[in-house]
Amino acid sequence: MPGLSKLTIRPAYSMWPKYNRRLRDVVAGMTAEQLAIQPSPERWPLWATVGHTCCQRVFWLCDFAGEPGAETTPFTDAGNNCPGDDDLEHVLSADELVGALDSTFRIVEGCLDQWSLDMLDEEIRRDDYGPDWVHTRGSVLQRVFSHDVWHCAELNETLKNAGLPQIDLWD
C-alpha cells in the first residue's frame, strides 16, 4: 500500500467534480440572452466569464504545467486567445460552454488522478514566459481550483440580480 505522499490528490479535491457539474448544469439551462447579461456595462458578459474560467484551466494546467489535452478543448492557444481576456467578439453558446466545461474538466480529472502529494512541491519553470514564471505544481492546482470557485461566486452575484438560478456549490 502506498504511503500518503504517493497517493493521488483526488481525495483533497473530492468536491471539485461536483462543483464543475453544478456550474455546468446552470450554464446548460441558460439562453443566449441570459448568457449575454453583463453585471455592469464595463464588465464581461456571463458567457465570457464561463469561457475564461475554462480557458484558464487549459492555460495553467496544459500550457504552463505541461498536462496533455489542450487540443481536446476549444482553447488551443490559451495563452493568447481566451474568452473575455482576449476575445469578446466570438460569443459562446450554452452548448459550446458546456462542451468547454466538459473538455477542460477532463484535464483537471487527469491531474487529480495522476498527481501525488509528493508532486505538489515540484517547481515548474517557464523561462520562455519570463523569469517570474516559477510556481509549484500545488500552487498551480490551487490557483485553478480557487479560480473556478471565485468565478462561480462572481457569476452567482449576476445570476441572483437577474433572478436566475444560481450555482449551488454547497447543497
Partner 1 sequence: MTTATIRPAYDMWPQYNRRMCEVIREMSSEQLAVRPSPELWRLFSHDAYHCGELSQTLGLHGLPQIDLWRPD
Q: How far is the CB of 13 from partner 1 (least distance, A)?
A: 7
Beta strands in the chain (DSSP E): 123-125, 134-136
- By CB under 8 A, is residue 158 in contact with partner 1? yes
Burial label for 70, CB within 10 Å (0-12, 13-18, 19+), is buried
Asked if residues 50 and 22 have their Cβ atoms less than 8 Å apart, the reply is: no
Residues whose CB falls within 8 Å of the CB of residue 170, separated by 6 or more in sequence, listed in order: none
Q: How far is the CB of 71 from partner 1 (least distance, A)?
A: 25
The residue range among 13-21, 62-70, 74-82, 91-99 that interacts with partner 1, by the rule CB under 8 A, is 13-21
Q: Which residue of 43, 90, 106, 125 would you call a contact of partner 1, by CB under 8 A?
A: 43
Q: How far is the CB of 168 from partner 1 (least distance, A)?
A: 11
Burial label for 127, CB within 10 Å (0-12, 13-18, 19+), is exposed
Grid coordinates belonging to 13: 479535491
Residues 74-103 that bind partner 1 (CB under 8 A): none
Site residues (vs partner 1, CB under 8 A): 3-5, 9, 12-13, 15, 19, 39-40, 43, 117-118, 120-121, 132, 136, 138-139, 141-143, 145-147, 149-154, 156-158, 169-170
